[in-house]
Amino acid sequence: MEFSEFSKRIHPNLSGISSQGHFVGALFNAAGSKFFPIQPSYGTDDYQRKVFSGARKLNKKMKDSFPKPIDAENLKVFFQTRIGESSLPLIMSNFGIPLDEVQDKNLFISALCTQFQNIVSEAANQVADIVASEYNRLLCKSGIAIVNLFPFYPGDDLQLISELPIQNHVAVFYEKFDHQWTIRNTGTVTWVDRYFECTNQSKTRIRAMNTRIDVPQTKPGDEVCLAVKFDARGIEGTFESIWEMKDNTGRLCFPDKSKTLKLVATVINRPSIAAEV
């Protein structure tokens, strides 16, 4: 990526800077360079506009005018004040980040600053396009959940029709109990080689006797009944068991419906007969 390409992906969706020449001057100054005036007077920004268009490349003098490292904090403020919430997904998309990806403005701006640092510090004018990968790295590091809002297979969908019992379970220590769901294939994809799996077994105190339920082949419009037996075990509290559909490779079929099949059970320690007397 070159400076020109970087600028073209950002400038059209920024607020308050319509001139390409003004954008170049403001960007340079925000990152700590005084090579160009922050806001050139009318008709004096031809050089800056050529740098924006790519007709002129960043030369060594321009790159050397930046502090090492650049003033990243001031550059972040520049982007924060110029990138609005409505324009954020558009600019992110220009850098190859899907529209359904988690949108974190602060992390995205940090990725932009890293990209700009590379552009003005490398000897070559063409540098690696790292905004999308850096943004993904920052997301993972931050612990922010990455949510997919769509089913894995286009056109796939399901609906919970009923469950038994309807209310939450109440069980005493080590009691065995059953739960049943009826679901309908409301999409356009036939379910083949699918199964439901308890995805939080290691984190919940109640135990599913079988953590995997195979789903029979189910055509669009058809219904299927799923039944599971549980062991309450010997710890008091309220716990949940979450089940998600996967295909034969282990991929989540409905990351957008992570808790469609869930049961809640309250486990109590039944008083002994001696204590009651």
pLDDT at residue 91 is higher than 70: yes
pLDDT tens column, 103-113: 899 999 999 99
pLDDT at 274: 40
Class in CATH terms, 158-275: mainly beta
The whole-angstrom separation of Cα 173 and Cα 154 is 44
pLDDT tens column, 41-60: 777 899 999 999 999 999 99
Whether cis (ω within 30° of 0) applies to the bond prior to 69 is: yes
Ordered by start, the domain boundaries in the chain are 3-142, 158-275
When pLDDT is averaged across residues 3-18 and rounded to a whole number, the result is 95
Strand partners, 172: 268
What are the backbone dihedrals phi and psi of residue 261, each rounded to the nearest 5 degrees, phi first? -105, 105
pLDDT tens column, 25-42: 999 999 999 999 988 877
The whole-angstrom separation of Cα 116 and Cα 7 is 10
pLDDT at 251: 84
Residues 6+ away with beta carbon under 8 Å from 86: none
The whole-angstrom separation of Cα 53 and Cα 5 is 8
Chain Cα centroid distance, residue 159: 24
Cα→Cα distances 30→44, 50, 93, 106, 168, Å: 20, 19, 23, 17, 57
Which residue do the tokens 């932009």 mark?
112
Which residue do the tokens 């990351």 mark?
255
HSE-up of 217 (CA within 13 Å, CB side)? 1
| pTM for this prediction | 0.56
